[in-house]
């Protein structure tokens, strides 16, 4: 869409970009290299076996080297080019390499998109899980709450279904709670205010039923002390209040003003890739390029997916968006193509502040679409680090077998299945909930919807600079530790898998100071090295503009990414504080299923 703003007429950020997106026919020619087992037969021969379907094929050691150099889901030609580059194979070998891949595909070693989708089974015409309501999490920001409620009134005023709204109030200041109550009273909506009194009543019922878990219940649900930030507490309350049903969650600095993606793309995608980004010099320019979706009901869009079997979600995606247009997944994700697969989360995008960490990590690992857009519009580089006026999301409807749960604007959660709690404090509590849900539910998926809501922080945030120090991120450490050890969990039931996660974290909390410190430092160095690698890859990309590289280069000298021991230990979580957090969280995870089941059954 071309902006009407005069300054954007000759440099439309999206002009002709849609022509670069792959066609459905191109994407459907992609083949996934799944997890393979290698069984040696002789010094020159081995058997490769597809762990997913049991298919096996005998190959030579040279052919095995070619197959090992392929990864991801690509057309044969791209697999050949990538493998040839890694093996430094001459062009004369390309035909033989392609013949090998085609032979592997015929034998079932490689899997096509059609074969993967067939693993879901046939659509059964299933209905989504009943929606229990719309939750607004707020704390000490009555003006923002009032703004969000006004936009909810406008949504229902346009003929959208009237819904139950639940304001989970985490205000520390009683005056702010009173102002929130006044804003709720003025709104022409069906609203329940889960204030201090209601939160205390829920906590009291649980304490009466589970007196031996008093410490864990208070840690999960009790109001914060003076000066204590508790962003995870209202989320834990919401999960218990709506146990057994689905709900959508709003952060209080969102506005229900739905906007379409600025980049045109047809069809739907299956992907676990990072969000696409585009940058703008002002909100006016952003909104000019992200057209309003006036007739779209964001809540209804989420509600129609939650809890669906993926076979039905896939059919719905084809009906709504057209054929599969892109597939970008890792080998391990093939396991989630199963008859048990279901939609656990739905997610919409952010138009405005991207809602991410002040450290601009998203700029360091740009997906291909953002790189192409930036290469075509180099002037946008000046806006990327100077402000936080972004489109952040996906241009297509996307089915994601792996996700980073983000509660920036509106997110749908299928709480009819046991979901984990998060920590009461700390940044990234939503990412932790998503990572642990991923651990608990081996066949859960997320649906990313191709629209955004406005996200207007007040006061506006700024990005950290390359020279700024960064503080510890204990929850990101826990997330990384869970991801590194996910394969060690063999059970299928969510309760048993959550118990395994609780045991894993409790075991880590019991480690010696030396062992825990080594684990923390190893994680910090691994994260920093991966980010540095991603930055260097962009600096080596000839297609990216020089202005962008000039902004990226100083980050290689940033204390946030330094790999020397002193710098790493400066930004690493302190051992005593992390140990205490792990102990509390592991104990809370162990009791959580009983709390959740009690709340679900008490309302039946």
pLDDT (tens digit per residue) in 466-522: 999 898 999 999 999 999 999 899 999 999 999 999 999 999 999 999 999 999 999
Arithmetic mean of pLDDT over the chain: 92
Cα 570 to Cα 453, 464, 466, 509, 564: the distances in Å are 37, 17, 16, 21, 10
Q: How confident is the model at residue 301 (pLDDT cuts 50, 70, 90)?
A: very high
Q: What helix, strand, coil percent values describe the chain, rounded to 5?
A: 45, 20, 35
Average pLDDT over residues 536-550: 95
Q: Is the dihedral angle over the CA atoms 81, 85, 87, 89 positive or is it negative? A: positive
What DSSP line would sit under 395-427, residue for residue?
Answer: SSEEEESS-----SSEEEEETTS------SSST
507 backbone dihedrals φ, ψ, rounded to 5° = -65, -40
Q: How confident is the model at residue 29 (pLDDT cuts 50, 70, 90)?
A: confident
pLDDT greater than 70 at residue 147: yes
Q: How confident is the model at residue 6 (pLDDT cuts 50, 70, 90)?
A: very low
pLDDT greater than 80 at residue 133: yes
- Ranking 95-99, 256-260, 401-405, 560-564 by mean pLDDT, the lowest is 401-405
Q: How confident is the model at residue 10 (pLDDT cuts 50, 70, 90)?
A: very low
Q: How confident is the model at residue 5 (pLDDT cuts 50, 70, 90)?
A: very low
pLDDT greater than 50 at residue 26: no
Contacts of 255 (CB under 8 A, 6+ apart): 147, 148, 151, 453, 454, 455, 456
Q: How far apart are CA 299 and CA 295, in angstroms?
A: 12
Instruction: Report pLDDT for 263.
Output: 83
pLDDT greater than 80 at residue 266: yes
Instruction: Report pLDDT for 325.
Output: 92
Q: How confident is the model at residue 28 (pLDDT cuts 50, 70, 90)?
A: low
pLDDT greater than 60 at residue 388: yes
Q: How far apart are CA 505 and CA 587, in angstroms?
A: 9
pLDDT greater than 60 at residue 223: yes
Report percent pLDDT > 70 for the chain: 95
Q: Which two tokens stand for residue 180?
A: 């929130």
Do residues 449 and 537 lie in contact, with contact meaning Cβ atoms separated by under 8 Å?
no
Average pLDDT over residues 317-322: 94
Using DSSP's 3-state secondary structure scheme, residue 453 falls into strand
Report percent pLDDT > 90 for the chain: 89
pLDDT greater than 50 at residue 12: no
Using DSSP's 3-state secondary structure scheme, residue 92 falls into helix
Instruction: Report pLDDT for 4.
Output: 32
Q: How confident is the model at residue 20 (pLDDT cuts 50, 70, 90)?
A: very low
Average pLDDT over residues 420-426: 95
Using DSSP's 3-state secondary structure scheme, residue 443 falls into coil
pLDDT greater than 60 at residue 219: yes
Q: Which two tokens stand for residue 28?
A: 């459907």
Instruction: Report pLDDT for 182.
Output: 98
Instruction: Report pLDDT for 226.
Output: 85
Predicted TM-score (pTM) of the model is 0.92
CA dihedral 72, 78, 84, 86 (to 10 degrees): -40
Report the run of H or E that residue 111 belongs to, with start and end: strand 111-112
pLDDT greater than 90 at residue 603: no
pLDDT greater than 60 at residue 394: yes
pLDDT greater than 60 at residue 344: yes
Instruction: Report pLDDT for 319.
Output: 95
Total length of the chain: 604
């Amino acid at each position: 869409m071309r902006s009407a703003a005069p300054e954007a007429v000759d440099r439309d950020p999206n002009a002709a970009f849609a022509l670069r997106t792959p066609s459905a026919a191109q994407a459907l020619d992609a083949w996934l290299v799944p997890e393979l087992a290698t069984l040696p037969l002789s010094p020159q021969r081995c058997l490769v076996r597809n762990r997913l379907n049991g298919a096996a094929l005998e190959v030579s050691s040279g052919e095995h080297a070619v197959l090992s150099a392929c990864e991801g889901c690509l057309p044969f030609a791209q697999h050949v080019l990538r493998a040839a580059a890694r093996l430094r194979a001459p062009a004369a070998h390309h035909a033989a390499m392609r013949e090998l891949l085609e032979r592997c595909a015929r034998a079932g070693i490689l899997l096509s998109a059609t074969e993967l989708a067939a693993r879901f089974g046939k659509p059964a015409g299933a209905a989504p899980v009943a929606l229990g309501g719309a939750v607004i999490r707020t704390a000490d920001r009555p003006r923002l709450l009032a703004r969000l409620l006004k936009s909810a009134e406008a949504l229902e005023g346009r003929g959208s279904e009237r819904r139950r709204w639940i304001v989970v109030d985490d205000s520390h200041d009683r005056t702010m709670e009173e102002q929130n109550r006044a804003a709720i009273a003025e709104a022409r909506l069906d609203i329940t205010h889960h204030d201090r009194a209601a939160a205390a009543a829920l906590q009291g019922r649980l304490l009466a039923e589970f007196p031996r878990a008093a410490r864990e219940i208070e840690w999960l649900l009790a109001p914060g002390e003076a000066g204590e930030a508790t962003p995870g507490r209202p989320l834990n309350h919401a999960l218990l209040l709506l146990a057994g049903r689905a709900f959508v969650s709003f952060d209080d600095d969102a506005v229900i003003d739905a906007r379409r993606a600025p980049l045109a793309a047809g069809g739907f995608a299956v992907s676990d890739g990072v969000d696409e980004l585009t940058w703008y010099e002002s909100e006016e320019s952003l909104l000019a390029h992200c057209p309003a979706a006036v007739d779209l009901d964001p809540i209804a869009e989420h509600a129609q997916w939650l809890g669906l079997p993926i076979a039905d979600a896939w059919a719905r995606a084809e009906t709504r968006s057209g054929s599969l247009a892109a597939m970008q997944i890792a080998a391990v994700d093939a396991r989630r193509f199963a008859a048990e697969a279901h939609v656990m989360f739905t997610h919409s995008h952010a138009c405005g502040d991207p809602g991410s960490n002040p450290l601009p990590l998203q700029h360091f690992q740009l997906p291909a679409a953002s790189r192409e857009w930036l290469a075509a519009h180099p002037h946008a580089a000046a806006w990327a680090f100077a402000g936080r006026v972004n489109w952040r999301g996906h241009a297509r409807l996307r089915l994601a077998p792996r996700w980073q749960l983000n509660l920036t604007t509106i997110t749908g959660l299928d709480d009819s299945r046991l979901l984990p709690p998060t920590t009461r404090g700390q940044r990234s509590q939503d990412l932790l909930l998503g990572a642990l849900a991923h651990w608990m539910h081996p066949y859960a998926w997320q649906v990313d919807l191709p629209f955004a809501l406005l996200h207007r922080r007040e006061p506006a945030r700024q990005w950290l600079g390359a020279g700024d120090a960064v503080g510890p991120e204990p929850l990101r450490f826990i997330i990384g530790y869970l991801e590194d050890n996910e394969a060690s969990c063999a059970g299928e039931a969510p309760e048993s898998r959550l118990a395994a996660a609780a045991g894993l974290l409790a075991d880590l909390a019991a480690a010696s100071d030396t062992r825990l410190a080594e684990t923390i430092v190893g994680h910090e160095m691994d994260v920093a090295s991966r980010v540095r690698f991603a930055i260097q890859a962009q600096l080596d990309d000839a297609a990216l503009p020089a202005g962008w590289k000039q902004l990226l280069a100083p980050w290689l000298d940033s204390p946030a990414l330094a790999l020397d021991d002193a710098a790493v230990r400066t930004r690493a979580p302190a051992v005593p504080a992390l140990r205490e957090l792990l102990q509390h969280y592991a104990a809370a995870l162990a009791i959580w299923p009983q709390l959740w089941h009690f709340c679900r059954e008490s309302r039946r």
